[in-house]
Amino acid sequence: MTTDKIHILSAALTLAALLTSCSEDDFSTGAGGTGIPMQIEPSVTGGTKASMQTADLTEFYLQVTSTEGAYSYFDKVSKSGTAWSASKTPLWPDETALVTYSAAYYSGHAFTTDEFAQGVDLAVPTDQSTQAGLNSADLLTLKATQTSYEKTDNGVLPVVLNHALAKVNLVLTLGDAFYDAKLGLTANPVTAFTVKGANTSFNFKPQTGAVTVTAGTEADITPLPGTYTPAAATTKTATAVYEAILVPQTFAAGALTVSFSIGQGNYVWTNATAITLTAGTTVNLPLSATTAPPVDPYNGHAYVDLGLPSGLKWATCNVGASKPEEYGDYFAWGDTVPYYKEGHSQDNPCSDWKDDKKKTYGYAWETYKWCDGSYNTLTKYCSKSTYGYNDFQDSKTTLDPEDDAARYQWGGPWRMPTKADLEELLNNCKWDRIDAGNTEFGGIAGFKVTSQKEGYKDRFIFLPAAGYRDDTNLNNVGSYGYYWSSSLYTDIPYNAYFLDFYSDYVLWDYNYRYYGQSVRPVCE
């Protein structure tokens, strides 16, 4: 590979004036030695193409010794901006004398002359989940090499550092089932990705570049999430790549495992055959998951935990629907069943009603359960007597469980959200308008509501623009969404709060209680 040339010293020097012997105690100008100052050209190469590259290198440790005498040099070479420097400048003894040199770099470790001579015990970090973390695991080495001034390009010492550990790319393929379950359509849905069973400690000898794994030092390693390629309608499989730097070692069959989570599902991969990692190489390990995670239903209905502060979970579809993009049924506030007959929710106008009165009026004050035919004759949930039948007032502000459509239809812990629940969803999630004709939700317009909490950002619900029913008509289907809360608008109690959205806004509002609107259940 082509490397960038970075020099410690760039000034031209007259060799004739410098061809004298060096100090016997040190092999540098800093100790008063004489000779030809070396120029240093560090670079990073090697088969892993792993983490550290030449441009990433900011320091390394260099040892130079003379093969003809007791001359020696050891120092840290550091980069500041574009310039490299050391406290002492190494010297060539003369044009022909051989020198032996070696170098090493490991993030945060200050090498010593004894470690260069005898070796040192090190360990890879277990948290490699960021680029900086991956870089910190990359051990660079140049084993002892001989050269002389006359064998170099104008006296430039080429310090070519190699990757001493092994790079592992864990390539995870998610099967069609994840696409069908609408997981990972835009962002990587995988969480808690962990490599288990790898020894993390090793002995390193800079003179030879040898790395020897230390047995019995297994620890969990968190790799760097690399590229993610979402699935598409034509190619339903998605691919997620994770990167880790490991100590060269051999894993017997079943010794290396990878665990991860997607939604409510936990997955484990284990190597079926032995795997050997060698220094300076990259290994691609293919993993796959073909079974979508199970839903965690309450009374047979799936939910999504969006990581909301309250811990509230939202259902994946409306009451009366079997999947997120279906509109479902329409309910008057405080009534638990639709007014039309089953299978006629989308009729416009609807002519197949449950009784003659509803056939005449549809959704109206005349058919509303909790009044005597008008907005000011309320018989339940009335905060002001002026709106109550014969001055009725019960001061109820939230639907009783028996009048909650979600509880009545789905049972168990399900209920309609309160106004506060709607506000929490508005304030803690990202709301993206989905236009008609999309491929993600069957062409149905609405809003995709995605968690903004770390660890939950792959989770979302879809609210279709189902419109609403007034009298016998169905209005604004495909453009507006109207989702009831269980909270009364107490200032004007013939209204109740609901979630209202259109193409350019999302907010909570209040509407006539007799309107037929959507219900999206929640559970604790």
Buried-state track 504-523, b at ≥16 Cβ within 10 A, e below 16: eebebebbbbbbbbbbbbbb
Identify the pLDDT of residue 46: 66
Identify the pLDDT of residue 2: 37
Kindly state whether residues 181 and 253 are assigned to the same domain. yes
Identify the pLDDT of residue 233: 82
Closest CA to 229 of 240, 219, 216: 240
What is the residue whose two structure tokens read 């574009």? 82
Kindly state whether residues 20 and 40 are assigned to the same domain. yes
Kindly state whether residues 486 and 514 are assigned to the same domain. yes
* CA torsion, ordered 125, 126, 129, 131, to nearest 10 deg: 10
Which two tokens mark 185? 């359509």
Kindly state whether residues 114 and 50 are assigned to the same domain. yes
Kindly state whether residues 225 and 348 are assigned to the same domain. no
Q: Other C-beta atoms within 10 Å of 386: how many?
A: 9
| Number of domains observed in the structure of the chain | 3
Is pTM, for the whole model, over 0.85? no
Q: Which of 289, 322, 352 is the last residue of a domain?
A: 289
Q: Which of 163, 193, 218 is the last residue of a domain?
A: 163
Identify the pLDDT of residue 456: 87
Kindly state whether residues 333 and 468 are assigned to the same domain. yes
Contact 516, 475 (CB under 8 A): no
For residue 489, the enclosing domain spans: 303-523
Kindly state whether residues 37 and 172 are assigned to the same domain. no
Closest CA to 419 of 333, 332, 514: 333
Identify the pLDDT of residue 446: 97
d(CA 315, CA 410): 11
Q: Which of 108, 140, 163 is the last residue of a domain?
A: 163
Question: What does the DSSP assignment read for 322-363?
Answer: SSTTS----B-TT--S-SBPTT-TT-SS---BSSHHHHHHSB
Element (H, E) at 115: helix 113-118
* CA torsion, ordered 249, 253, 259, 263, to nearest 10 deg: 150
| Per-residue tens of pLDDT for the chain, all 524 residues | 333 333 333 333 333 333 333 344 466 665 445 688 888 999 998 654 556 888 889 999 999 998 776 678 999 999 888 777 888 888 888 899 899 999 999 999 999 999 999 999 999 999 999 999 999 999 999 999 999 999 999 889 999 999 999 999 999 999 998 988 778 888 899 999 999 999 999 999 999 999 999 999 999 999 999 999 999 888 899 999 999 999 999 999 999 999 999 877 889 999 999 999 999 999 999 999 998 876 656 777 889 899 999 999 999 999 999 889 999 999 999 999 999 999 999 999 999 999 999 999 999 999 999 999 999 999 999 999 999 999 999 999 999 999 999 999 998 889 999 999 999 999 999 999 999 998 888 899 999 999 999 888 888 999 999 999 999 999 999 999 999 999 999 999 999 999 999 988 999 999 999 999 999 999 98
CATH number at residue 217: 2.60.40.2670
